[in-house]
Amino acid sequence: MQQQMIEQMTAWLTTLPEAERIEAINRFRLALHHESPFKDQPVDCVLWIKHEHIAPNDYNPNNVAPPEKKLLLKSLESDGFTQPIVVHEQKQHQYEIVDGFHRHLLAKTKSSLKKTLKGYVPVSVLQCDSDEVSGRMASTIRHNRARGRHQINAMSEIVRELSQLGWTDEKMGLELGMDSDEVLRLRQINGLLDMFSDRQFSQAWTVK
């Protein structure tokens, strides 16, 4: 029975034009994902989405130096995509990047990748409330920090925005993987003395 269903499905897929076949495969994957024991894991369902349906976020503090970007391109050309771009669905069929901006940019602009990827990129969709920008920002930071890359000035701006959204230092430390001193330093970089004036400073941070 199982083998018969697989044969029928693959036979039907071969009759479809390429764009329709990709869409059908995405729908099959979503159906399988819905019944999967691992459906709470975003990577359980990787979809192929057109470039024009994906947009960068405006808060990512990650930066890739030219040598690393060149190596990333070589990796994508030689090994293909081994990690999907992490996105969240802003509205139906429209996605914002949480992690993978540079992979998406290279896939969209480099002729060698445009040819092999046919205008698509693989994505893994985070299930989150599209209105919870603070949660998406925290997720982006966690992805960046897990690889050891983030820009200090942009990180301080993230801390400022999360503070304005009501996040405490303790919550930022927990969600972003920082200790209290690191959160404090990022506040200082951004000049937010009024936002932590009630904090108890250690001797090392006392202004003389």
Q: How many Å apart are CA 166 and CA 67, to the nearest integer?
A: 38
* Highest mean pLDDT, choosing among 7-16, 65-74, 84-93: 7-16
Residue 130 lies inside a defined structural domain of this protein: yes
User: Could you say which of 109, 132, 150 is where a domain stops?
Assistant: 150
Q: What's the pLDDT score for residue 59?
A: 73
Q: For residue range 195-206, what is the model confidence (pLDDT) as tens digits?
A: 444 555 444 444
Domain that holds residue 95: 36-150
Which residue, of 115, 130, 150, is where some domain finishes?
Answer: 150
Sheet with 120-126, strands from edge to edge, namely 46-50, 120-126, 85-91, 94-99, 54-55
Q: pLDDT tens, 19-49?
A: 999 999 999 999 999 999 999 999 999 999 9
Q: CB–CB of 126/88 below 8 Å?
A: yes
Please, is 158 exposed, middle or buried when counting C-beta atoms within 10 Å of its C-beta (0-12, 13-18, 19+)?
buried
The CATH number of whichever domain residue 74 belongs to comes to 3.90.1530.10
Co-location of 138 and 45 in the same domain:
yes
Residue 81's pLDDT is: 95
Instruction: Look at residue 109 and tell me if it is in a domain.
Output: yes
Per-residue pLDDT tens over the stretch 173-191 = 877 777 778 777 777 776 6
Q: Residues 146, 160: one domain?
A: no
Helix (H, G, I), strand (E, B) or coil at 201: coil
Q: What is the structure's pLDDT at 197? A: 47
